[in-house]
Amino acid sequence: MNLLVGERISIATFKAQTTRHRIMGILNTPQMQICFSDTPGVLKPGYRLQEQMLQFSESALQDADVLLYVTDTVEQPDKHAEFLDKVRRMKVPVLVLINKIDLSDEQGLNALYDRWHEALPGAEIFPISALHRFGVDRVLSRIEALLPESPAYFDKDQWTDKPARFFVTEIIREKILLYYDKEIPYSVEVVVEQFKETDRNIHINAVIFVERNSQKGIIIGHRGVALKRVSSEARKSLEQFFGKSIFLEIFVKVDKDWRSSAKAMKQFGYDLSD
């Protein structure tokens, strides 16, 4: 979606479950407006947070005019059989995007193409490489041809439906995903408590919530070195994102078992209402 929209809206790392929310990216050209909705990856939920992430993914099946099912050269069609069954029953066009084809060869790609064609016989399959922008323009042209005509939903200068604070939390969380191992990144949520913007700079106070005191110690690190690294790298990315000087303070607090708490989930912006 970042490549199609031309803005860095969704954070991206090499780790699974990077995306937690459903995020809209809006592509505006003189001829059209396309609203892309990036969802969390499909997974088998193990706690309340993952249940909500799956709900975000399944919600895309209800209101999309065109569904893009993004996979890669490693994932097999039988990994998410139940979800694919729902995709198979959809009444809208489905495009399967096999990403990272630069990591495969022709024989492997042909075999994967056949497996996806068998799994989703009504879908169109597009081998792409987002890294090298191979096949992306072809996908965009096909989306444009398939979308129904309608009035624009958003202003021409709008490129997302999320507020500025959301991107602060996502960029900080991205650095945690990059710099911490094992369960730590998945036990973390970020909340912006203060966001004061002037013409020249932005003052931000943010809190990293973890589930255990031991996790708090790992996030902070010896003499605060680990947290300083996260703060420094997040500040650089935020300055690039907003185009302003950023003054960033980050604190760490414990909220025990927040990933399984309905109250905490709502506080952190996950709407669990059906």
Read off the pLDDT of residues 205-257 as tens digits, 9 standing for 90 and up. 999 999 999 999 999 999 999 999 999 999 999 999 999 999 999 999 999 98
The pLDDT, as a whole number, for residue 59 is 83
The pLDDT, as a whole number, for residue 271 is 65
Architecture of domain 2-146: 3-Layer(aba) Sandwich (3.40)
Angle at 32 (CA atoms; ends 26, 35), nearest 5 degrees: 25
Fold of the 164-267 domain: GMP Synthetase; Chain A, domain 3 (3.30.300)
Q: Sketch the domain layout of the chain as residue ranges.
A: 2-146, 164-267
The pLDDT, as a whole number, for residue 122 is 92
Give the side-chain half-sphere CA count within 13 A for 20: 23
CA distance 203 to 165: 12
The values of phi and psi at residue 262, to 5°, are -60, -40
pTM summary value: 0.86
Give the model confidence (pLDDT) of 29-43 as tens digits.
888 999 999 988 887
The values of phi and psi at residue 253, to 5°, are -130, 160
Taking the CB of residue 114, how many other CB atoms lie within 10 A of it? 11
Residue in this structure with the two tokens 């309905």, named with its chain if needed: 262
Angle at 195 (CA atoms; ends 223, 254), nearest 5 degrees: 45
The pLDDT, as a whole number, for residue 202 is 98
Report residues of the chain scoring pLDDT below 50: 274
Q: Which helix (H) or strand (E) covers residue 199, if one does?
A: none
Fill in the DSSP letter of residue 160. Answer: B
The pLDDT, as a whole number, for residue 220 is 97
